[in-house]
Amino acid sequence: MRLVTHHAGGTARPGALLAGPDGDRLLDLGPALPGRTVVDVLRDPAVRAAAQAAVDAADPGGLPDAAAVRLAPPVRPGKILCLGHSYSGHLGRGRAPDDVPAFPDVFVKTPNTLCGPHDPVVLPPAAQHVDYEGEVAVVVGRTAHRVPLDGAEAYVGGLTLFDDVSARDWQSLTSQWTLGKCVDGFGQLGPAVVTADEALPISGRELTVERDGVVTVRSSTDALVFSPAFLVHHLSQVLTLEPGDVIATGTPAKLPEAAAAHVPLRHGDAVTIAVTGLGSLTTTFVDGPPPASRPDTPGGPS
């Protein structure tokens, strides 16, 4: 299933994307799953079975066009954990391409960074060099505490896309990247969580990023240094992962010509991440003011 969160009747509800003859349609899962969220679908087999039954029974032809629906972030993570230097070929300054790190370099994006697949990202006046990244994100499905590597994949609820927007000038001011990473709205997630039964293995997928129509990143998920199972195992030795938590697996490097031509993002720029089987996610960048209806303000989605 491709699970989304949308709004109906003023509340956040789970939904599913179904392929129609002319594009995706949106099935509202609210009636089948009253009071439930996408996280409930991921963590509870009974809820997942009810969602699957509703999907199987639906006629896409009678459903609304998904492109006309404003989606919220598919989940609201308690923790957003992100990786740097996690693709072969994007291993950081001074590393040879075959110098593969033994451990993932993890940083945190705070909850204020979360935005949905249709929310523009506001360029703050204080940041001079805002950049994009294109990532596959693991969404945790079950509580994971000190999980052995063997069997860790069962804790993956699904995969989605993530733009780890970064203020490079703030990121490089200090040893820790936090203030360049935790800017309001700098974590776009979605559009859909593709459930693990369809999304795994993570390998064998093409990841591309287009900026204003030009492909700037092109890689295969085969180049990921760490598997979702290893990440769940490794991280859960010290911290408990909860359903809905996100582990963003990091970005491949820009293509050499794109890196050479790179300039900071500006008002009106659009960046689209696309990954085989996981859909696409477009981030649009705007100068202020801050959006009035950010999903993490009171009254927003779950």
Which one, of 135, 130, 132, 131, lies nearest residue 251 by Cα?
A: 135
What single-letter amino acid sits at 301?
P
Binding track, positions 198-237, relative to a second copy; x by CB under 8 A: -------------------------------------x-x
Distance between first and last Cα of the chain? 20
User: What whole-number distance in Å separates Cα of residue 255 and Cα of residue 107?
Assistant: 24
Under 8 Å between Cβ of 251 and 87 = yes
The helix (H) or strand (E) run that includes residue 3 is: strand 2-8
Least Å from the CB of residue 25 to a second copy? 36
User: What whole-number distance in Å separates Cα of residue 68 and Cα of residue 63?
Assistant: 11
Please report whether residue 176 would count as binding a second copy according to CB under 8 A. Answer: yes
Least Å from the CB of residue 233 to a second copy? 11
- How big is the chain by its Cα radius of gyration, in Å? 18
CA distances from 219 to 136, 144, 212 (A): 12, 30, 18
Structure tokens at 264: 């900071």
Choosing from 70, 95, 145, 267, the residue that interacts with a second copy (CB under 8 A) is: 145
Residues 260-289 that bind a second copy (CB under 8 A): none
Please report whether residue 127 would count as binding a second copy according to CB under 8 A. Answer: yes
Please report whether residue 174 would count as binding a second copy according to CB under 8 A. Answer: yes
Under 8 Å between Cβ of 281 and 272 = yes
Q: Which residue number, 265 or 278, has a Cβ lying nearer to a second copy?
A: 265
Choosing from 30, 44, 168, 178, the residue that interacts with a second copy (CB under 8 A) is: 178
Choosing from 50, 52, 110, 270, the residue that interacts with a second copy (CB under 8 A) is: 110
Residues 19-58 that bind a second copy (CB under 8 A): none
Please report whether residue 247 would count as binding a second copy according to CB under 8 A. Answer: no
Q: Which residue number, 67 or 126, has a Cβ lying nearer to a second copy?
A: 126
Please report whether residue 167 would count as binding a second copy according to CB under 8 A. Answer: yes
Which one, of 212, 213, 177, lies nearest residue 81 by Cα?
A: 177
Please report whether residue 112 would count as binding a second copy according to CB under 8 A. Answer: yes
Q: Which residue number, 133 or 210, has a Cβ lying nearer to a second copy?
A: 133
Q: Which stretch binds a second copy (CB under 8 A): 17-25, 43-51, 107-115, 203-211?
A: 107-115
DSSP assignment of 230-294:
HHHHHHHTTS-B-TT-EEE---PPPPHHHHHH-----TT-EEEEEETTTEEEEEEEEESSPPTT-
Q: Which residue number, 113 or 302, has a Cβ lying nearer to a second copy?
A: 113
What single-letter amino acid sits at 278?
L
Please report whether residue 84 would count as binding a second copy according to CB under 8 A. Answer: yes
Structure tokens at 292: 């009035």
Residues engaged in binding a second copy (CB under 8 A): 78-79, 81, 84, 92, 101, 103-108, 110-113, 124-127, 145-146, 167, 170, 173-180, 182-184, 235, 237-240, 242, 290
